Amino acid sequence: MNIRFFTVIFSSLLEKRDFFMKTKILFLPRTKKASNHVLDKLSNGVNEVRGAINRRSLWPNATDKFIPTGLSGRHFFVRGLFIALALIFSPILAVADIGSAVVYLQAQPQDAWITQALSAAGADNIATDHLTNVSGTSATDYAKAILALAAVGENPKTFGNIDYVAKLKTYLNNNQIGDESLLNDDIWSILALASVGEVNSNEAMAAKNYLMSNQNTDGGWGYAVNGDSDTNDTAAAIMALVEAGISVADSVIVNAVNYLELSQNNDGGFPYDPASDWGTDSDSGSDSWVISALYKIGQNPADWDKNNNNPISHLESLQDAGGGFWWVEPGTSEWNNKAMTAYAVIALSGKSFPVGYWTADSGDYHLRIEGQNNMICDVYVAGDTALEVVENAAEICGYSYVITDSSFGSYLSQINNESGSGMIGWMYFVNYESPLIGAADYTLSQGDEVLWYYGEWGWQPARLSVSANNLATGRSIAMTVEYFDGQAWNALQDAVIKGGDQDYTTDASGQAMAVLPDGYYNLFAEKDSFIRSNQEEVFVGDGISQNIALSVEIIQSENSNVAGESIIFEISASRLDFGKMKPGDAASQSLDIINSGTVDLTITASVSGDLLFLNNLRLDNQIWQNFGNTLAASESKEVNAELNIPENYFGSGIKTGELIFWAR
67 pLDDT exceeds 50?
no
Average pLDDT of the segment spanning 468-489: 88
Residue 41 pLDDT class (50, 70, 90 cuts)? very low
73 pLDDT exceeds 80?
no
Q: Which phi and psi (to 5°) does residue 240 adopt?
A: -65, -45
Q: Note whether 3-348 and 462-540 share their fold.
A: no
| CATH, domain range 3-348 | 1.50.10.20
Amino acid 651: pLDDT: 67
Which listed CATH number (3.30.70.260, 3.40.30.10, 2.170.130.30, 3.40.50.300) goes with 364-458? 2.170.130.30
Amino acid 558: pLDDT: 38
**CB neighbour list of residue 5: distance below 8 Å, 6 or more residues apart:** none
481 pLDDT exceeds 90?
yes
Sign, CA torsion 297/14/327/275 = positive
- The one-letter amino acid code at 121 reads A
Q: If you ran DSSP here, which 8-state letter would residue 334 be given?
A: T
Give which of 315, 346, 256, 298 is closest to 44, Cα–Cα. Answer: 315
Amino acid 468: pLDDT: 80
Amino acid 359: pLDDT: 78
Question: For the purposes of burial, counting CB atoms within 10 Å of the CB of 518, is it exposed (0-12), middle (13-18) or buried (19 or more)?
Answer: buried
**CB neighbour list of residue 261: distance below 8 Å, 6 or more residues apart:** 70, 71, 72, 304
Residue 87 pLDDT class (50, 70, 90 cuts)? very low
Amino acid 490: pLDDT: 92
Percent above pLDDT 70 for the chain: 80
User: How far is the CA of 211 from the CAs of 73, 194, 257, 469, in angstroms?
Assistant: 29, 15, 16, 20
Of 454 and 162, more confident: 454
Residue 357 C-beta-side C-alpha neighbours within 13 Å: 17
Peptide bond into 354 cis (omega under 30): yes
Residue 82 pLDDT class (50, 70, 90 cuts)? very low
Q: Report the Cα 474 to chain-centroid distance in Å.
A: 27
67-81, 150-164, 441-455: which range is least confident on average?
A: 67-81
The reported pTM is 0.53
125-139, 397-411, 558-572: which range is least confident on average?
A: 558-572
515 pLDDT exceeds 90?
yes
In contact, 348 and 290? CB cutoff 8 Å: no
526 bridge partner residues: 496
Name the average pLDDT for the chain: 81
53 pLDDT exceeds 50?
no
Amino acid 544: pLDDT: 61
Over the stretch 286-334, which tens digit does the pLDDT of each residue have? 999 999 999 999 999 999 999 999 999 999 999 999 999 999 998 888 8
Sign, CA torsion 37/260/211/341 = negative
For the chain, the domains span: 3-348, 364-458, 462-540, 545-663
Amino acid 510: pLDDT: 95
In contact, 287 and 232? CB cutoff 8 Å: no
Over the stretch 595-637, which tens digit does the pLDDT of each residue have? 887 778 888 888 877 778 888 888 998 888 888 888 888 888 9
8 — alpha (psi -120 to 50), left (phi > 0) or beta? alpha
Residue 7 pLDDT class (50, 70, 90 cuts)? very low
Of 477 and 570, more confident: 477
Over the stretch 94-110, which tens digit does the pLDDT of each residue have? 456 899 999 999 999 99
In contact, 414 and 402? CB cutoff 8 Å: yes
111-125, 356-370, 503-517, 554-568: which range is least confident on average?
A: 554-568
Dist. CA 111–CA 117, nearest whole Å: 10
155 — alpha (psi -120 to 50), left (phi > 0) or beta? beta
Percent above pLDDT 90 for the chain: 52
In contact, 457 and 528? CB cutoff 8 Å: no
Average pLDDT of the segment spanning 177-195: 97
Q: Terminus-to-terminus CA distance in the chain, angstroms?
A: 50
Of 380 and 566, more confident: 380
Work out the number of other CB atoms within 10 angstroms of the CB of residue 648. 11
Q: Residues 308, 310, 312, 318: what is their CA dihedral angle, to the nearest 10 degrees? A: 80
Dist. CA 506–CA 482, nearest whole Å: 10
| CATH, domain range 462-540 | 2.60.40.10
118 pLDDT exceeds 60?
yes
Entry field: residues in the chain: 664
Scanning 121-183, the segments in alpha helix (DSSP H) are 139-151, 164-169
531 pLDDT exceeds 70?
yes
Work out the number of other CB atoms within 10 angstroms of the CB of residue 5. 11
Dist. CA 184–CA 140, nearest whole Å: 8
Amino acid 567: pLDDT: 64
Sign, CA torsion 377/378/381/384 = positive
User: How far is the CA of 201 from the CAs of 138, 238, 468, in angstroms?
Assistant: 19, 19, 15
Over the stretch 633-652, which tens digit does the pLDDT of each residue have? 888 899 999 998 887 676 66
In contact, 576 and 508? CB cutoff 8 Å: no
Of 179 and 32, more confident: 179
Pairing of strands 489-491, 504-505: unpaired
121 pLDDT exceeds 70?
yes
Of 545 and 36, more confident: 545
User: How far is the CA of 353 from the CAs of 131, 290, 357, in angstroms?
Assistant: 18, 11, 10
Which listed CATH number (3.20.20.140, 2.60.40.10, 3.40.50.2300, 3.10.310.40) goes with 545-663? 2.60.40.10
424 — alpha (psi -120 to 50), left (phi > 0) or beta? beta
Average pLDDT of the segment spanning 442-471: 90
523 bridge partner residues: 536
146 — alpha (psi -120 to 50), left (phi > 0) or beta? alpha
User: How far is the CA of 114 from the CAs of 10, 130, 186, 338, 345, in angstroms?
Assistant: 13, 11, 21, 12, 9
15-29, 131-145, 158-172, 196-210: which range is least confident on average?
A: 15-29
Strand runs labelled E in 372-459? 375-382, 401-406, 409-415, 418-419, 424-430, 449-456
54 pLDDT exceeds 90?
no
353-367, 507-521, 628-642: which range is least confident on average?
A: 353-367
17-26, 163-172, 314-323, 543-552: which range is least confident on average?
A: 17-26
39-53, 274-288, 533-547, 554-568: which range is least confident on average?
A: 39-53
User: How far is the CA of 506 from the CAs of 513, 519, 591, in angstroms?
Assistant: 8, 22, 38
Amino acid 30: pLDDT: 28
14 pLDDT exceeds 70?
no
